[in-house]
Amino acid sequence: MTETEILRTVEACLRRDIRAEKVLFEYFAPRVFALARRYAPDETAAQDFLQECFVAVFDRLKKFDPARGEFGAWLYRVSVNTCLQLLRREKQQPPLDFGDVPVLVDDLGSEDLLQIPEQLVLEGIRQLPAGYRQVFNLAVFEEWPHRDISAKLGISESASRSQLVRAKQFLKNFIKKSLPSYEPQRLV
Amino acid sequence: MSRNDWFEEFLRARISRESHAFDTEQAWNRLQQRRRKRKPRLAILLWCCGLLIAGAGFRQWILRDAPATQVFRPAGGEHAAAEYSHAHAKEPAKPFAGTQRPEQATVNSTALENAVAETGFKNIVNHIETAHHSIAGKPDLQYNISSAGISGAAVVEVPEVTTNELPEKTERQGFMMPPSISLLPSITPPGAQPEKQAPPFFEFEDKNTAAFRKRRKRSRWQAGVTLGYGLQRVDRASGNSAWLAGRDDEEALDAISAGLLVRRHIGDRWFLQSGVNWLRLTDRRRFSSESTTTASQPNQLVQVIVHADGSEEKVFGDAPVTTVTRTEGVRYNRYERLELPLLAGVDILPGLSASAGLAWGIWSRSSGYVAGPDPGQETPVSELGYRKGGLVSGLLQIEYSLPLPGGALGLGLQGRKDLLNNAGRDAGFEERRGALGIAISYRRMLR
């Protein structure tokens, strides 16, 4: 789907054309769902996040300005913001205690990484507390600078940096620990 | 590239950007259901809000018109209490049959109300007696009131009069009310606890405010900048009036301030605020000066000679010429200070805070001129001992904070007044300046 076709579909959506909305949804939903899976604590929540993201997108469609960028980027940004809003509504989770986690980071070699399935990494991300997960996703996948993350989440830049470091530490340890006993069917 | 970056690259590569095993049809159907559900929910929410507002308004209206309920304790019984409601007492008196005089009854009922409000239960009894005498005017209308006998165990019954006739004879343990008065007594058992006040109907806290509070709890330190603008006032009343002569052409204008602030919450509601503040006060001075110069100018008319035949002869030559030059203008005198403020504040309501404190002047500078002792002379304000600026100033501020991501935007009223001046010893008086204006500040949460 070219950008012109997307814009034409968006115009139709603005005219409340349900078929155009469906086309837009089917085209972008897999990408948004992948995003939602990283932010949501589990698969069911990810499906809810996906719905909320598209509700927000269709609600704000008239605010989209083609002169300011591609539709896909705009939709992705709206989706990220919606996921962050949804996570903010969740109850505060207790902070993760990193004191007891042994440092296994250096043991993680490239051979190990080749064996790591996507589902395991995703599971590790979901094990992170909500705050750490947000910082991790924004920094690693959205590639936001820490200044923007701190402004968005209402934390200091140093907190954002330290949470990212700790989240990566936790993830490495989680992967390392899970490798020998990993059972793919258990996580599906 | 560090190992961490390599790990991030690995994660980005490992986690796919798209979900492959994804049933879009099912997700679309769920989305449609969700969107269909959402609209009625919004409508219901709006309806509920409307109903709540209408209900609250109606309740206010009812409470405004509803009479107060008073509790009286009879003097004869320590534990007895009768609750008297004025509600029915305000109803107009029904017309009486025969020789009864409803006007008088109404008057007496009002008197009873007043008596109830003023003197208590004993007077109720007296007024009931009076009312009965005046309404009926007949000896056969008997009643039996034993006020001293009313105790916690007493049963007081009130006949409900719905016809135009009074009951001919009523003998009871309690007493009888005239038809225009409906006494609804209720005896509180001895030792009964007073009724507890009901909790408020609902409490509302703004979502943003709640979020702001949450953030504020997370970080007690805040730092930011502040800007202020206000109108200033100069108080010179403590001085010798002779020094004030000729100063009326000066007019206090505005006060501009800018500063850096640090705020530390020391409890749920209390905070301390400090920082550095730069303040500039401006006076406008309208001045006028006259200068007189005399110089000998050539070719001036110095003499006119009138001859006998009526003709005139003008004589020109050198003559002194006096020129008066008047200069008028506007100048601005500015006084700048650098201060260290220290304020203590309290959050009065969510988002609304008040603070008060002192500001110590650590540096000051002034520029401009004032009229000198002699006409046409000017004196620099920096030489004026009475204008050395405030040493200690009092500050007062009321601020409304609007929560923002990672910080807060404050908008408030602020006032200041010089309390101590570092005026020179030779100064005949000292100026104390005050200002009242608005301030806007932006604070960021610190870790």
pLDDT of A165 reads 87
Residue of B12, B27, B35 with shortest CB distance to A29: B27
Residue of A34, A151, A172 with shortest CB distance to B405: A151
Structure tokens at B446: 């610190």
Structure tokens at B394: 């009092």
pLDDT tier at B18, thresholds 50, 70, 90:
low
Q: Tell whether A85 and A42 lie within a shared domain.
A: yes
What is the crossing angle of helices A71-89 and A43-59, to 10°? 120
The predicted model gives B326-330 an average pLDDT of 79
How many domains does chain B contain in total?
Answer: 3
- Of the three residues B190, B218, B253, the one that is the final residue of a domain is B190
Q: Tell whether B219 and B74 lie within a shared domain.
A: no
The answer to whether residue B308 is domain-embedded is no
Q: Per residue in B371-404, is it b (16+ CB within 10 Å) or e — as a string?
A: beeeeeeeeebeebebbbbbbebbbebbbebebb
- Of the three residues A27, A59, A89, the one that is the final residue of a domain is A89
Q: Tell whether B54 and B151 lie within a shared domain.
A: no
What is the crossing angle of helices B102-118 and B121-136, to 10°? 170
Inspect the interface and report whether the beta carbons of A33 and B27 lie closer than 8 Å.
yes
Q: How far is the first Cα of chain B from the last one, in angstroms, to the nearest whole number?
A: 29
Output the average pLDDT for chain A: 80
How many domains does chain A contain in total?
Answer: 2
Q: Tell whether B356 and B246 lie within a shared domain.
A: yes
Q: What is the pLDDT of residues B290-314, one digit of tens each?
A: 778 888 888 888 888 888 888 888 8
Q: Tell whether B371 and B432 lie within a shared domain.
A: yes
A49 touches chain B (CB under 8 A): no
The answer to whether residue A43 is domain-embedded is yes
- Of the three residues B127, B157, B190, the one that is the final residue of a domain is B190
Q: Tell whether B143 and B224 lie within a shared domain.
A: no
Task: Report whether pLDDT(B55) > 70.
Answer: yes
- Give the gap in angstroms from C-alpha A67 to the nearest C-alpha of chain B: 25
Instruction: Tell me the C-alpha distance between B389 and B359, whole Å.
Output: 12
CATH number at A65 reads: 1.10.1740.10
Q: Tell whether A82 and A155 lie within a shared domain.
A: no
Domain enclosing residue B54, as ranges: 32-66
Chain B residues within 8 Å of chain A (Cβ atoms): 4, 7-8, 10-12, 14-20, 22, 24, 27-28, 30-31, 34-35, 38, 211, 215, 218-219, 405-406, 445-447
The answer to whether residue A133 is domain-embedded is yes
Q: Tell whether B370 and B435 lie within a shared domain.
A: yes
The answer to whether residue B306 is domain-embedded is no
Instruction: Tell me the C-alpha distance between A138 and A146, whole Å.
Output: 9
The answer to whether residue B57 is domain-embedded is yes
Instruction: Tell me the C-alpha distance between A169 and A104, whole Å.
Output: 8
The answer to whether residue B197 is domain-embedded is no
Instruction: Tell me the C-alpha distance between B238 and B260, whole Å.
Output: 34
pLDDT of B144 reads 44
User: How remote is the C-alpha of B351 from its chain's centroid?
Assistant: 14
Q: What is the DSSP string of chain A?
A: --HHHHHHHHHHHHTT-HHHHHHHHHHHHHHHHHHHHHHSSSHHHHHHHHHHHHHHHHHTGGG--GGGS-HHHHHHHHHHHHHHHHHHHSPPPPPP--TTS---GGG--HHHHHH--HHHHHHHHHHS-HHHHHHHIIIIIS---HHHHHHHHT--HHHHHHHHHHHHHHHHHHHHHHSTT--HHHH-
Q: Tell whether B251 and B165 lie within a shared domain.
A: no
pLDDT tier at B82, thresholds 50, 70, 90:
very low
Q: What is the pLDDT of residues B391-429, one digit of tens each?
A: 789 999 999 998 888 889 999 999 999 888 766 555 556
The predicted model gives B83-90 an average pLDDT of 40
Q: Tell whether A112 and A85 lie within a shared domain.
A: no
pTM over 0.95: no
The answer to whether residue B351 is domain-embedded is yes
Q: Tell whether B49 and B137 lie within a shared domain.
A: no
Q: Tell whether B221 and B130 lie within a shared domain.
A: no
Q: Running DSSP on this structure, what letter comes out for residue B237?
A: T
pLDDT of B356 reads 95
The answer to whether residue A17 is domain-embedded is yes
Task: Report whether pLDDT(B258) > 60.
Answer: yes
CATH number at B277 reads: 2.40.160.20
Q: Tell whether B424 and B436 lie within a shared domain.
A: yes
CATH number at A111 reads: 1.10.10.10
Q: Which residue of B has its CA nearest to A26?
A: B24
| Optimal mutation site among A47, A51, A135, interface B, most CBs of chain B within 10 A | A51
The answer to whether residue A66 is domain-embedded is yes
Q: What is the pLDDT of residues B349-374, one digit of tens each?
A: 888 999 999 999 888 888 888 776 66
Instruction: Tell me the C-alpha distance between B189 and B82, whole Å.
Output: 10
Inspect the interface and report whether the beta carbons of A55 and B27 lie closer than 8 Å.
no
Inspect the interface and report whether the beta carbons of A151 and B24 lie closer than 8 Å.
no
pLDDT of B225 reads 95
Output the average pLDDT for chain B: 69
Q: Tell whether A13 and A50 lie within a shared domain.
A: yes
Inspect the interface and report whether the beta carbons of B406 and A165 lie closer than 8 Å.
no
Structure tokens at B441: 């500040």
Q: Tell whether A9 and A59 lie within a shared domain.
A: yes
- Of the three residues A33, A55, A89, the one that is the final residue of a domain is A89
Set of chain A residues whose Cβ sits within 8 Å of the Cβ of B215: 154
Inspect the interface and report whether the beta carbons of A156 and B17 lie closer than 8 Å.
no
- With tokens 């007024």, the residue in question is B127
Structure tokens at B319: 């003559």
**Is the separation of the CB atoms in A159 and B447 below 8 Å?**
yes
Lowest mean pLDDT across A165-174, B59-68, B310-319, B427-436:
B59-68
A61 residue type, one letter: L
- Give the gap in angstroms from C-alpha B52 to the nearest C-alpha of chain A: 25
Q: Tell whether A85 and A143 lie within a shared domain.
A: no
pLDDT of B195 reads 54
Residue of B4, B14, B38 with shortest CB distance to A121: B14
Alpha helix (H) residue ranges in B236-366: 241-244
The answer to whether residue A94 is domain-embedded is no
Q: Tell whether B438 and B363 lie within a shared domain.
A: yes
Instruction: Tell me the C-alpha distance between A157 and A167, whole Å.
Output: 15
Residues 6+ apart with CB under 8 A from B365: B335, B336, B337, B382
Phi/psi at A58 (5° precision)? -65, -30
Q: Which residue in B333, B437, B341, B427 sits closest to B392, CA to CA?
A: B341
pLDDT tier at B441, thresholds 50, 70, 90:
very high
**Is the separation of the CB atoms in B234 and B267 below 8 Å?**
no
- With tokens 């002194």, the residue in question is B320
User: How remote is the C-alpha of B397 from its chain's centroid?
Assistant: 12
Domain enclosing residue A72, as ranges: 3-89
Are β-strands B352-367 and B312-349 bridged in parallel, bridged antiparallel, or unpaired? antiparallel
- Of the three residues B135, B155, B190, the one that is the final residue of a domain is B190
Q: What is the pLDDT of residues B165-206, one digit of tens each?
A: 444 444 444 444 444 444 445 455 555 555 555 554 444 445
User: How remote is the C-alpha of B430 from its chain's centroid?
Assistant: 33
Q: Tell whether B106 and B129 lie within a shared domain.
A: yes
Task: Report whether pLDDT(A35) > 80.
Answer: yes
pLDDT of A78 reads 92
Task: Report whether pLDDT(A109) > 50.
Answer: yes
The predicted model gives B258-263 an average pLDDT of 94
Q: Tell whether A30 and A57 lie within a shared domain.
A: yes
